[in-house]
Structure 1
Amino acid sequence: MKYIILLFLTCLSLCLSQAILAQTSAADPPVEAAVIPSEPPAPPSNVRVSDLPNDDGHGIQVKWDLSPDDGAGARSVISYDIYRALSPDAPDSLWKKTETVVLGTKTYADNGEREPGSGSYLPKRTDLYYRVYAVGAGVRSAAAAAGPVQATDDWFNSMKVPELVFCLVFLVLTVRFINMAKKGIDLYVRPLAGIEAIDEAIGRATEMGKPILYVLGIGTAGDIATIASFTVLGRVARKVAEYQTSMIVPCCDPVVMTVAQEIVKSGYADAGRPDAYNEDSVYYVTSQQFPFVAAVNGTIIREKPATNIYLGYFAAESLLLAETGVLAGSIQIAGTDQVSQLPFFVVACDYTLLGEELYAASAYLGREPLLLGTLKAQDYLKAIVLVCMVALLALRMITGADVISKPFDAPWW
């Protein structure tokens, strides 16, 4: 009996729920999908096209006034589409879409490629026509057209006037200091610790009766670092001849070896000791990087030179050479223009010429008017640049105006 009553109550509840659901469905009218008619936004106005200034002749500048629906309009604008064609009457299929820009944009630079086969090629000195559409939610406005316009190249880039000014200043300074050096006027160059230590290192080698090792690096005779090292080698060879000390110059390139032999020979002759020159002191090892390093390290271990000088182009072998010299107890003077190798030389060597100091060393030691005048001009130009930077930064902090980038971004004509 108990189960029959429970079954009856369950059936009754199901019937009542179905009845209530049916009444609710009948009371609510069917909801039809709201259909919002899509209306295109108003088109942009006053479209202007002109040749893009300061380019290579493959750019067009497009400007327009914003659509009334851009911003507070009834039909909001999402973006603008820019199209280009060779004829104003060209069918829509021949109008090429060049770019889509976001709302609020009023200008676009159509920078094309120079090669005719590229996809974004923009012909030079050819009539071009442009259309600008305001794009809404799934619709776009009528076209606002402009043209014709031709892309032409410019002989003078007015954006490069600041660079031209600095180049002219550098040219004037260079000519001025070269003329002063040729007249015999002593031009002050700040002393370089690494170069000043060479005389001391040569004297130490003389006292100890040990040779001096000079490594020109693994570069060729055409590398700037190797050329700068040649000048220092001549100074070292002259001092070695004066102090009657021996030197060892292993070379990684046969051409470098030939040049080094002539430089060392000239250094001995300048010191009045041509008979003391030993041709075997400058020799060729191998052009392979790590076999060369192994041979030089073997020389360091066997000969125990008092001074090791590494000036030139160096790569991964820099740390191997410097560490071997530390184990041999040598005074080490290094210099290279390879930024990645400077930390190893700084850590393992007693003196290091950083980057352009290697180039300055050749002018500092050689006292050649051309080199010395250029070096002085560089120093003065750096000082001018630093003064300009500090002045502009102070003016920016005082006035709050963008006086740093604006002078270099604005057209100069």
Structure 2
Amino acid sequence: MIFLLILSFTISAKDTPDDAGGSITINVYNIPEGTEQIELYRLTKGDTLFEEVGLIPIFKGELDDATVTDGVLYLYKATALTPDTVYVAEIKEFASSSPEWFNKSRTSVLLFIALFWVVILVYIQLAKKNPEGLFIRKLPPLEAMDEAVGRATEMGKPVLYVPGIEYITDAGTLASITILAKVGRKVAEYETRIINPHFDPIVMTTAQETLKNAFSEAGRPDAFNKDDVFYLTSEQFGFAAGVDGIMLRERPGAIFLQGYFYAESLILAETGYSIGAIQIAGTNATTQLPFFVAACDYVLLGEEMFAASAYISKEPRLLGSIKGSDLAKSVLLVLIGVGVIFGTFAAIKNVAGNPVYMEIFDRILEFLARTAE
């Protein structure tokens, strides 16, 4: 074989743009005709021998070396192998990698997030001025809560409220506390006992204060029994067994299962069904929804819990977040629909060669590419 260093076959190396570092992009140009493979070699500054990095795809002429260390200088060379010749290209300057502060290819995502937050802030301000002006559809489980408490009162039985087995930092637990306030006001109004067992002591303390305020708002602060809000255990199935025992002993007329649940969801819901209680469940744990749907009378599905808490509290930040996220979802659905339409046009072009549709499609893509730049 003859080894040649020719000017036509060249190589370049640069820090990979818009990345988190640890990568150098190597490009080769003027690949000789008949090249079977292109081998890439790397020399670390301070060393004397090149080490093989890998093969550069011939059809692409580019390779990202993701095995480098940020700040370390490297020298690269490539060899193009043909049946009778080896062509060598080597760069003269060292290259190094470094992380970028901003990924410019994600500019559109940044713009969408900024727009999303602006919309939420606008809705929050609107909610502060007129909370009743932001319409949120009343959900059937919310309407059934008064009925459930009324039924328990008529039967002379208590109400059982279980706020899930997550901690106070969970969004579902926070929504459950808001719903607990509504149920607390209603049981205070009807002079009905409410039993509220807990998995976490911090959630228990929060629930105690919430119910205490609810009874005060209903004009019956003396009716609140602090001992009915208690810590049970932080062991999952121990908690489930304890709540089941309460159900069988107290025979509540209404059971509220509101919060984040795991495998104990069906155990609790089945026991509640067996004693004939009306059950209203709600959880943001989507894997547990089928069990609640099967065993409970009413269910708040996923994000309906958050909508319910916003509807009950009329808190401007909650109302604004719900309305803003709904608008963002609507925009995303429209964009997805547009993408499906133009994806169909692309298929028409590839299969039937329709130039009119794809000319429109190509122009829109060019416009979006210019905007991203």
Q: Give the TM-score, by structure 1 length.
A: 0.79
SS in 1 for 2:110: helix
What is the CA RMSD across the aligned residues, in angstroms? 2.8
Q: CA deviation at 1:141?
A: 1.9
1:47–1:65: 8 Å Cα contact kept in structure 2? yes
Q: Does 1:386 align with 2:370?
A: no
1:396–1:404: 8 Å Cα contact kept in structure 2? no
- Find the aligned partners of 1:86 and 1:410 in 2 and give their Cα distance: 38
1:48–1:62: 8 Å Cα contact kept in structure 2? yes
2:21–2:97: 8 Å Cα contact kept in structure 1? yes
SS in 2 for 1:68: coil
- Residue in structure 2 matched with residue 84 of structure 1 by the alignment: 42
* Count of aligned pairs between the two proteins: 357
- Find the aligned partners of 1:104 and 1:153 in 2 and give their Cα distance: 28
Structure 1 residues 355 and 152, CA, compared in 2 at 3 Å: closer, same or farther? same
Structure 1 residues 371 and 230, CA, compared in 2 at 3 Å: closer, same or farther? same
- Find the aligned partners of 1:205 and 1:404 in 2 and give their Cα distance: 61
- Residue in structure 1 matched with residue 354 of structure 2 by the alignment: none
* Identity of matched residues, %: 40
SS in 1 for 2:87: coil
Q: CA deviation at 1:42?
A: 9.8
- Find the aligned partners of 1:285 and 1:322 in 2 and give their Cα distance: 18
Q: CA deviation at 1:377?
A: 0.6
Q: CA deviation at 1:237?
A: 0.1
Q: Deviations over 1:89-110 (max 9, x none)?
A: 964xx21222224432311122
- Find the aligned partners of 2:198 and 2:367 in 1 and give their Cα distance: 50
Letter in 2 for 1:143: V
2:115 is aligned, of 169, 178, 194, to 169
- Residue in structure 2 matched with residue 67 of structure 1 by the alignment: 31
- Residue in structure 1 matched with residue 225 of structure 2 by the alignment: 278
Q: CA deviation at 1:409?
A: 8.8
Q: CA deviation at 1:386?
A: 0.8
- Residue in structure 1 matched with residue 372 of structure 2 by the alignment: 412
- Residue in structure 2 matched with residue 24 of structure 1 by the alignment: none
**Structure 2 gap segments, 5+ residues each:** 346-356
Letter in 1 for 2:318: L
Q: Does 1:159 align with 2:105?
A: yes
Q: Does 1:229 align with 2:176?
A: yes
- Residue in structure 2 matched with residue 131 of structure 1 by the alignment: 77
Q: Deviations over 1:155-176 (max 9, x none)?
A: 2210111211111111111111
- Residue in structure 1 matched with residue 86 of structure 2 by the alignment: 141
Letter in 2 for 1:258: T
SS in 2 for 1:141: strand
The within-5 A match list for 1:13-412 is 45-65=9-29, 67-69=31-33, 73=34, 77=36, 79-86=37-44, 91=48, 94-111=49-66, 120-124=67-71, 126-135=72-81, 141-148=86-93, 149-185=95-131, 186-398=133-345, 399=357, 412=372
Q: CA deviation at 1:136?
A: 5.4
Q: Which moved more, 1:95-104 or 1:281-290?
A: 95-104
Q: CA deviation at 1:405?
A: 9.6
2:14–2:26: 8 Å Cα contact kept in structure 1? yes
- Residue in structure 1 matched with residue 348 of structure 2 by the alignment: none
Q: CA deviation at 1:410?
A: 8.9
SS in 2 for 1:130: strand
- Find the aligned partners of 1:318 and 1:402 in 2 and give their Cα distance: 51
Letter in 1 for 2:38: Y
- Find the aligned partners of 2:282 and 2:363 in 1 and give their Cα distance: 39
SS in 2 for 1:143: strand
2:199–2:239: 8 Å Cα contact kept in structure 1? yes
Between Structure 1 and Structure 2, whose CA radius of gyration is higher?
Answer: 1
1:62–1:109: 8 Å Cα contact kept in structure 2? yes
Q: Give the TM-score, by structure 2 length.
A: 0.86
1:333–1:349: 8 Å Cα contact kept in structure 2? yes
